[in-house]
């Protein structure tokens, strides 16, 4: 597995920035976020011609409640709908399970139906967050049972 550089992460984030209901750049500085991901995140990346074309980025170390956290799921538009997002999220879940985590948490905008459908099909269930600052978001958790299967 090739680890992306800060520059490669930054270039990819710039490409996918406006695909999110709230662009990533409206929430954080993409240069600083790229550095944070490179230093601290667990990255599942699909490459094509030395460029990132799909990525799941999240955290599997120093986590709260023994839950990993996915912060970014993105696939370039020309490659969407071909199962790449599913494969990358599944890879992240496997890494999290192998690290002994209890599960993985993520959130998305509730009306992002394709994403919500994908996450539910991978075993994520709705999770209620009290005092949610963004009422349009839906939180989802995929818990691992003792045998390591997702449910």
Q: What is the pLDDT along the chain (151 residues), one digit of tens a residue?
A: 689 999 999 999 999 999 988 899 999 999 999 999 999 999 999 999 999 999 999 999 988 889 999 999 999 999 999 999 999 999 999 999 999 999 999 999 888 899 999 999 999 999 887 776 777 789 999 999 754 444 4
pLDDT score recorded for residue 150: 45
Let me know if residue 150 belongs to a domain: no
pLDDT score recorded for residue 148: 42
Number of domains in the chain: 1
Let me know if residue 84 belongs to a domain: yes
Let me know if residue 1 belongs to a domain: no
Let me know if residue 149 belongs to a domain: no
CATH code of 14's domain = 3.40.630.30
Domain containing 66: what range? Answer: 6-143
pLDDT score recorded for residue 128: 80
- Torsion angle (degrees, nearest 10) of CA 140, 145, 147, 151: -50
Let me know if residue 148 belongs to a domain: no
Whether 16 contacts 5, CB under 8 Å: no
Q: Which residues contact 24 (CB under 8 A, 6 or more apart)?
A: 13, 16, 17, 30, 33, 72
pLDDT score recorded for residue 25: 96
Let me know if residue 127 belongs to a domain: yes
Could you say which DSSP state residue 80 is in? T
* Gap between the Cα atoms of 67 and 69, Å rounded: 6
pLDDT score recorded for residue 132: 67
Give how far Cα 7 sits from Cα of 46, 66, 68, 112, 140, Å.
16, 31, 25, 29, 30
- The pTM is what? 0.91
pLDDT score recorded for residue 149: 46
* Gap between the Cα atoms of 125 and 120, Å rounded: 6
Let me know if residue 30 belongs to a domain: yes
Let me know if residue 34 belongs to a domain: yes
pLDDT score recorded for residue 151: 42
Whether 54 contacts 13, CB under 8 Å: no
């Amino acid at each position: 597995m090739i680890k992306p550089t800060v520059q490669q992460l930054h270039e990819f984030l710039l490409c996918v920035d406006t695909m999110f209901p709230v662009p990533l750049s409206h929430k954080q500085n993409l240069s600083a976020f790229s550095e944070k991901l490179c230093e601290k995140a667990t990255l599942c990346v699909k490459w094509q011609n030395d460029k990132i074309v799909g990525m799941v980025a999240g955290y599997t170390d120093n986590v709260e409640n023994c839950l990993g956290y996915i912060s970014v799921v993105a696939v370039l538009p020309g490659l969407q709908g071909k199962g790449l997002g599913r494969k990358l999220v599944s890879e992240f879940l496997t890494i999290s399970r192998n690290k002994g985590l209890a599960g993985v948490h993520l959130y998305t905008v509730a009306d992002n139906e394709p994403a919500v459908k994908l996450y539910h099909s991978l075993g994520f269930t709705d999770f209620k967050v009290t005092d949610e600052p963004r009422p349009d978001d839906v939180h989802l958790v995929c818990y691992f049972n003792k045998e390591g299967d997702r449910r």
